[in-house]
Amino acid sequence: MQRLKIVFSGPMGAGKTQAIASLSDISVVSTEVQNTDLDAHTKALTTVGMDYGELILDEGTSIGLYGTPGQERFNFIWSILSQGALGVIILIDHSAADPVQDLAYYLATFDKIYQGRIIVGVSQVDKMPERPFEIYRNWLEDNDRNLPIYPVDMRKKDDVLLLVETIITALEQG
Ligand SMILES: Nc1nc2c(ncn2[C@@H]2O[C@H](COP(=O)(O)OP(=O)(O)OP(=O)(O)O)[C@@H](O)[C@H]2O)c(=O)[nH]1
Ligand SMILES: [Mg+2]
């Protein structure tokens, strides 16, 4: 059995835990506790360790799905979880105060760790439809970045699958 590994990261509330719950073929392992950082996000639970799930592909291949905590104080886990990973899916919360700044921050951090093995999913678009998706494409263009970026809803399994398939395809193309 070949085992691959993909990491989901991004800010609090972007949908990392949800993504893994939506896609996993096994019962997920999560480390959520009551969220006391209500300034950062108002949701009830937040990840403090990691999320783990598994996607079973055909041909004897499984993909371990690892989710990082979103809170800044757990940044040290990011590089630990990256070990042996094919790449990282950065999830951005479109309805956050400054999602373009979030994207810039996560790209700057993960460029060093993943050296280009990065794709981006923008979630929660339905919460702020008036904010144009072009803000991301414009920023990427202005910064000479060319990477796959998609609007997604992590409650939908097909959307999470699209991200996973895209990162694998992007890697195969070198
Ligand atoms: N409306 C809406 N809700 C979404 C979307 N994607 C995910 N969600 C929901 O948003 C919430 C995101 O929460 P989590 O999955 O816990 O977020 P997280 O990234 O793991 O957050 P931390 O662990 O705190 O860093 C969940 O309730 C999801 O069901 C989306 O596109 N639209
Ligand atoms: Mg989480």
- Domains of the chain (ranges plus CATH)? 2-172 (3.40.50.300)
Specify the pLDDT at position 174: 66
Question: What's residue 57's pLDDT?
Answer: 86
CA pair distance 126, 114, nearest whole angstrom: 30
For residue 152, the ligand closest to its alpha carbon is 1
Overall size of the chain counted in residues: 174
13 lines ligand 1 (CB under 6 A): yes
Angle at 170 between CA 172 and CA 103, to 5 degrees: 150
Residues of the chain with pLDDT under 70: 174
pLDDT of residue 172: 81
Look-up of token digits 């009830």? 44
Closest CA to 12 of 50, 47, 51: 47
The residue type at 84: G
Give me 33's structure tokens. Answer: 């506790």
Establish whether residue 123 lines the binding site of ligand 1, counting it when its CB lies within 6 angstroms of any ligand atom: yes
Closest ligand 1 atom number to CA of residue 35: 24
Task: Give the distance (Å) from ligand 2 centre to CA of residue 170.
Answer: 25
How far, in Å, is the centroid of ligand 1 from the Cα of 14?
A: 5
Instruction: Tell me, using a 6 A CB cutoff, whether residue 9 lines ligand 1.
Output: no
Please work out whether the CB of residue 16 comes within 6 Å of at least one atom of ligand 1.
Answer: yes
Distance CA 106, CA 114 (A): 11
DSSP code at position 38: T
Cβ of 18 below 6 Å from ligand 1: yes
Helix (H) or strand (E) holding 6, with range, is: strand 2-9
Rg of the chain in Å (alpha carbons)? 15
For residue 58, the model assigns a pLDDT of: 80
Check if 145 has its Cβ closer than 6 Å to any atom of ligand 1: no
Residue bearing the CA closest to ligand 1, atom 4: 124
Instruction: Give residue 115's pLDDT.
Output: 87
